[in-house]
Amino acid sequence: MKKLLIPICIIASLLPSSHTSDEDFVSVTNDYKSVVISTASPTAAATIKPSPTVKPTPTPTVKPSPTPTPSPSPTPEPTVTMYAPDGRTIDVVKSEEEAYKNVGWYPEPVTVMYAPDGRTRYTLNSEIEAYKNVGWYLEPVTLMYAADGRTRYTLNSEIEAYKNVGWYSEPVTLMYAPDGRTRYTLNSEIEAYKKVGWFTEPTVKMYAADGRTIYVGKSEVDAYKKVNWYTEPYTPPETSSSSSSGSHVSSNDDQSSKTVYITPSGKRYHYSKRCAGKNAIATTKSDALASGRDACKKCAY
């Protein structure tokens, strides 16, 4: 009998489906994992050698990949709120703060402040008091003047209130009226007040021999006295005889009472007021002669 060795996995395909003979058998050799098939026919029996045992390829052990440690999220950069002079705001990262400052943004609200010389600046609200202490203001200011010479910078919104208590928007001068009144007058208005009879000093009423009167500044009294004006009504001196007096009057009446014009410092009298000039003072010819003045060669000959 010959032996046929075949793998177990194909035994089913080698057995006839109607095989029932006792002479046929299947022997399974455990050592070789083979099958021996015997048949009655010696010539038909064959030994099938088992294939070499194929060891299964070991499955490689796959180490689990390590769970990646997530990188920590970057810490967000802090932001700051910046303020524009016109009231706008913007949140920027801290690293951009200086760049925004360079184009007119501020780290807190600001207020425009004014210097007396006209300068302006935007000031952090936290610094306002410090700037006030060195002469800056929250609105435009005007220099105001008191009658006693004091000055102060005043907020424009308060000018009227200060005017009501005797302050002025420009320097003032005390002026005098002939009737004794006085008033503080803006320097820009002095000439206008002079034209309506006000003076920059106390006045004195002076009298001419012909009965005229005039108010002059106290500093001018001596000059007027030199041209025969008086600080009280003029009284003609008494003469020794009425006849001689009468003769004098009759012979010189026409010329002595003639109106002429003189100036306080002039040495001549004039018939023409224009010729005498802007400081001309009217007087009589007799008074002009008595003061030592000669006739003007242009208009008094």
pLDDT in tens, the chain (301 residues): 445 555 555 555 555 555 444 444 444 444 444 444 444 444 444 555 666 676 777 777 777 777 877 777 788 889 999 999 999 999 999 999 999 999 999 999 999 999 999 999 999 999 999 999 999 999 999 999 999 999 999 999 999 999 999 999 999 999 999 999 999 999 999 999 999 999 999 999 999 888 889 999 999 999 998 888 899 887 776 655 444 444 444 445 556 678 888 888 888 888 888 788 878 888 888 888 888 888 887 777 6
Quote the pLDDT of residue 245.
47
Cβ atoms within 10 Å of 173's Cβ, excluding its own: 15
Quote the pLDDT of residue 180.
92
CB distance 185 to 172 below 8 Å: yes
User: In this structure, which long-range contacts are made by residues 8-11, counting pairs with CB atoms below 8 Å and at least 24 apart in sequence?
Assistant: 8/33, 8/34, 8/35, 11/35
Quote the pLDDT of residue 276.
83
CB distance 219 to 207 below 8 Å: no
Q: DSSP secondary structure string, the chain?
A: -----EEGGGHHHHS-TT---TT-EEEEETTTTEEEEE-S-TTT----PPPPP-PPPPPPP-PPPPPPPPPPPPPPPPEEEEE-TTS-EEEEEGGGHHHHHTTT-BSS-EEEEE-TTS-EEEEEGGGHHHHHTTT-BSS-EEEEEETTS-EEEEEGGGHHHHHTTTEESS-EEEEE-TTS-EEEEEGGGHHHHHTTT-BSS-EEEEEETTS-EEEEEGGGHHHHHTTTEESS---PPPPS-HHHHHHHHHHHHHHHT-EEEE-TT-SEEBS-HHHH-TT-EEEEHHHHHHTTPEEPTTT--
Quote the pLDDT of residue 138.
97
- The answer to whether the pTM exceeds 0.75 is no
Distance CA 267, CA 288 (A): 9
Quote the pLDDT of residue 260.
86
Quote the pLDDT of residue 154.
97
Quote the pLDDT of residue 242.
44
Cα 82 to its chain centre, rounded Å, is 19
Quote the pLDDT of residue 288.
85
Phi-psi region of 174 (alpha: psi -120 to 50; beta: other; left: phi over 0): beta
Distance CA 214, CA 206 (A): 5
Distance CA 210, CA 227 (A): 13
pLDDT cut 90: percent of the chain above it: 47
